[in-house]
Amino acid sequence: MHPITRRGFGALGFAALAAEAFAKAPAIRSAWPDATETAALIRTGRLSAAEATQAAVDRTLKLQPKLNFLVASDFDRALSRAGGPARTGAFGGVPFLVKDLDDYAGLPTRLGSRAFLPLPAARRQDALIDAFEATGVNIIGKSATPEAGFLPTTEPIAFGATRNPWDPSRSAGGSSGGAAAAVASGAVPIAHASDGGGSIRIPASCCGLFGLKPSRGRMIGTRQETKISDLSVNHVVTRTVRDSAAMFAAIEDRGPGAQLAPVGLVTAPLRRRLRVGLVAEGGAGKAPSAEVRAAHESAAALMRELGHTVVPTAWPMGRDFINDFLLLWASGAAGLAETIGKLAGRRADADLMEPFSLGLVEMARRAGPDALPKALGRLQAAADAYDAWFTRNRFDVVLTPVLAWAPPKLGEVGPTVPFDTLIERLIEYVGYTTYHNVAGAPAMSVPLHWTPGGLPVGSQFAARVGGEGLLLQLAYQLEAARPWADRAPAVRA
């Protein structure tokens, strides 16, 4: 999930890491090239950028009717760029998608909402999209998202449901569901994703991908994002750890005055043993399904096999946390309704906003003006408890499920489910990812398990603020111990 938030405009840092990621990162056994290998093929002349782009366009045209992950195409401009001067950077010439919550100059921004369908193409883009382009990626279009990123499934009324490549009757997750479906199916090897309550980790888990949510203020253009209400962060979803690590190093803020010390390019697996906190229940005290519990126990067993110490623990925040988070979420919907009302010249109604979004607006209205400041105070206390939790227990990382269930059937957590019923389902389903957004801490979904029915189930590992380097090292170790990149879904290029 990923609500509309303010975007930062920072100085664009140098993003080209060129061949270093490919030369140093572990070899990957895979059914098709990842972004790092694709870039190496282009850089060494074994594949042209034009060929890579045309192939991505062809794959997208083939897969789009089956999965519905694209909401705006930019094929002509992408092919023109690919035929021009060579693009430098770590991912020179690699096809890429931008999530449709962000402006990309030349394409419209619809936010998954009917209210924004009439808008013209964006004329500007923010520093983060500039940073992506500086890595050399070739943007071929924009990926689908639920309305304003509010839901953990990508089923907007405006564009229809995005389907999961592993089982098209199921959700690809959200809000970066379009990006995840595109990468998991092989349409593109890497895609922009963002996370305001789990929107990188949730679709990564649903689609069998690797997804790292960075710390708050980590990336280029986010220096002013310092408050609890600044929930959203940006990165990518990928099939391999090395793709994620290379993009992270390329777009992290490395300039003078950066909020966090740069991590740099991580290329090697973990070489030390960790103390791991283990949490099975969601933040509201809900237990996961039997399938997810089996995946969680398997991940814990793998950590022990790798020599790590695993210690049961419990969330440090109170049970009122989820209600406070929902109120903050609802305040974002109220702000969106106000924007839509001004744009349309009338009150936002069911013709302009989805039922769930309108339910959030009503939740904010009923709470009254004094409720949000009090909720923010309690959320700040919960954020303060995060680091103390690690310190008190001497944890290096904490291991939890990503979601309470395996990927649900389409419609089960969609925007037209009656509001009170949907809220109850969301409190159970998305009980593991929101705390890290409030705390501003990094967390990752690692695809370590598939159900007997062939559905992916991710495991979530979280660290202290600024601890992305440790998470990436651990991810390399897990990828080597239980490889996943050679797995292919039912619907694929």
Which residues are marked as active site?
99, 175, 199
Contact 92, 190 (CB under 8 A): no
Tell me whether the omega of the peptide bond preceding residue 175 falls within 30 degrees of 0, making it cis.
yes
Residue with tokens 């710390």: 215
Contact 176, 153 (CB under 8 A): no
**Bridge partners, 22 (sequence order):** none
Please spell the DSSP secondary structure of 21-88, one letter per residue: HHHHSPP---SS--HHHHHHHHHTTSS-HHHHHHHHHHHHHHHHHHH--EEEE-HHHHHHHHTSSPPP
**Bridge partners, 278 (sequence order):** 312, 399
Strand 275-278 to strand 397-401: parallel, antiparallel, or no bridges (unpaired)? parallel
Residue with tokens 């389903």: 429
* Alpha-carbon separation of residue 119 from 111, 113, 340 (angstroms): 11, 11, 12
| DSSP structural state of residue 152 | S
Q: How many CB atoms lie within 10 A of CB 267?
A: 20
Q: How far apart are CA 165 and CA 173, in angstroms?
A: 11
Contact 325, 197 (CB under 8 A): yes
Tell me whether the omega of the peptide bond preceding residue 199 falls within 30 degrees of 0, making it cis.
no
Phi, psi angles (nearest 5°) of residue 134: -65, -20
Strand 163-164 to strand 167-171: parallel, antiparallel, or no bridges (unpaired)? antiparallel
Q: Where does residue 253 fall: left (phi above 0), alpha (psi -120 to 50 degrees), or beta otherwise?
A: beta
Contact 90, 246 (CB under 8 A): yes
Q: How far apart are CA 146 and CA 101, in angstroms?
A: 9
